Amino acid sequence: MIHGGHRLKIYTRVEHVLVALATLFLPAIFLLIYGSFAKSDAFVLASGLGISFARLLVGYAISLFVGLAIALLIGTNKAGEWLMPVFDVLQNVPSFALIPVFALLLGYSNTMVVIFAATSIVWPILFYALSALRTAHQEWDEAATIFGAVGWKRVWNYHLPLVFPAIVTGSIVGISIGWEAVIGLEIIGFHTGVGVFLDSASKQGDQTALFLGIVAILFLVVTINKLVWSPLLKHARLYAE
Amino acid sequence: MQNKPAIAVEGVSFRFADETKRAPLTLKDISFSVAHSEFVSIVGPSGCGKSTLLRLILDLQKPTSGSVEKNFTKSAMVFQGVATFPWLTVYENVAFGLRMQGMRDDTIASIVREKINEVGLRQNEGKHPRELSGGMRQRVGVARALAVSPDFLVMDEPFSSLDSITATALKNDILALWEKYRMTVLLVSHLISEAIELSDRIIVMGKHPGMIKKVIPIELPRPRNPRSSEFFKLLDEITALIDA
């Protein structure tokens, strides 16, 4: 009966899980069937999409950790306010202007695209979480203090639930920016990933492959939205007053 | 420890932090003490620093000068507004302080159920605060405070956002719980009649800056009749003090 402060139940019925799994496999089946009709190599597209998605996921994981850590550091600490102008300036630097810098430091490697994606995704997560921490009711903060929420207990039982809806919203915005960063960078200077597939189709004038690539990305985005973000957004409503 | 007062506030003054350091004093030279098991209320006009004083006593803010001696082991607070956590159910809100103490789940369960029953929310323990009325939310706040077995309970205008029927019912429950547990209570209120009905003593404050005008002992026997002539006499005396 005792639950953690940060309880998370997304799928409550077997039907939900079945629908989720169906949503996951439908795009793959579509790709195989359509790919064979279009005489395009569905495997090349699927593997490219998989590589891009993996890059995005690692970049997102780094962004989530870094964004949340910085938000907690400066959002719960008066001294942290001094760092705000620094992050404010940094987030205004156009990501693509940094590509030559990243290329110089890391080369066109997986590490480079992951770090580049992370630098794009981190801002909405950081600023949405920061806003949630700063606009929280003073009485919640005082209640947490009076009832003994200190140190990591405070982070786990008070700060994380408090910023949870903001993290979900920030992640949705951040991931969409992250897709742009990953695909854009793959088109510019990579040999693998869905960006390379699209670029190659465009250069060869293969409109079917181009259409297939875009539809595949759409399928994946919709799948992630249905599987992850929609249930999390619904769950986040519990956190509203 | 029982020989000493539960709290002794000595010459406390407070000024909100201001970049120019020229902000006026919110509280000036406040001194009073509260004995163990005593029910003391602080009344005064809006803006006289009543709630700030509570926060200084509970270390939520630091006084500009003066000191607060504390001789209690565990404090809890019932807040004026929405201080229940919206992401937790009634049960989880009441269990919050106990979980922070690292108590075992089965011990928590028995304490939480007892407190939820005491405030009359047995049928609502799985609900979230947004599904409850204002009065029920405030009862969750009371149960959460009582769950940690405080020997010093602070209440910051707990009835101010409630309708009169709900406020009266909750007031009676709080009085019964105080008589049962005999913890020291410090209540802030802007309703003088409420303070007379509940308290052993009333601290009357004035504002600009916030300071103590008078401490009035209430010696009427409990349960108090708010329609008695003695009650009205006290009401007039305190009202005149605040208006002066």
Domain count, chain B: 1
In this structure, what CATH number is given to the domain that contains residue B114?
3.40.50.300
Cα dist. A130→A98, A163, A177, B3 in Å? 25, 8, 19, 47
- A14-239: what fold? MetI-like fold (1.10.3720)
B100 touches chain A (CB under 8 A): yes
Please state the rounded mean pLDDT for residues B197-221.
93
Question: Which of A141, A146, A154, A157 should one mutate to test binding to chain B, selecting the residue with the greatest count of B CBs within 10 A?
Answer: A146
Distance CA A218, CA A210 (A): 12
Query: What are residue B215's DSSP bridge partners?
Result: B203
Strand order in the sheet with B65-70: B27-34, B7-14, B65-70
Mean pLDDT of chain A: 86
Range of the domain at B108: 7-243
Q: What is the mean pLDDT of residues B93-108?
A: 96
Task: State the best of B54, B85, B137 to mutate against chain A, taking most chain A CBs within 10 Å.
Answer: B85
Identify the band that residue A2 occupies on the pLDDT scale cut at 50, 70 and 90.
Answer: very low
Per-residue confidence at A1, pLDDT binned at 50, 70, 90?
very low
Q: Which residue has the higher pLDDT, B26 or A53?
A: A53
B212 assigned to some structural domain? yes
Would you call A149 an interface residue with chain B, using a CB distance cutoff of 8 Å?
A: yes
**Average pLDDT value for residue range A44-48:** 87
Q: Is residue B71 part of a domain?
A: yes
Q: What percent of chain A has pLDDT over 70?
A: 85
CA distance A81 to A72: 11
pLDDT, tens digit, for every residue of A49-67? Answer: 999 999 999 999 999 999 9
Confidence at residue A3, expressed as pLDDT on a 0 to 100 scale? 42
Between A8 and A179, the higher pLDDT residue: A179
Q: What is the pLDDT of residues A91-123, one digit of tens each?
A: 888 888 888 999 899 988 999 999 999 999 999
pLDDT exceeds 70 at position A5 = no
When mean pLDDT is compared over B89-98, B177-186, B207-216, the highest value belongs to: B89-98
Q: Name A228's Cβ contacts closer than 8 Å, sequence gap at least 6.
A: none
Residue A213 contacts residue A222 (beta carbons within 8 Å)? no
**Whole-number pLDDT of residue A77:** 83
pLDDT of residue B128: 93
Structural domain includes residue B227? yes
Q: What is the pLDDT of residue A76?
A: 87
- How many H-runs (helices) and E-runs (strands) does chain B carry? 7, 9
Burial class (CB in 10 A: 0-12, 13-18, 19+), B130: middle
The pLDDT mean for chain B works out to: 91
Interface touch A142/B83, C-beta < 8 Å: yes
Q: What are the sequence ranges of the domains in chain A?
A: 14-239
- pTM here? 0.83
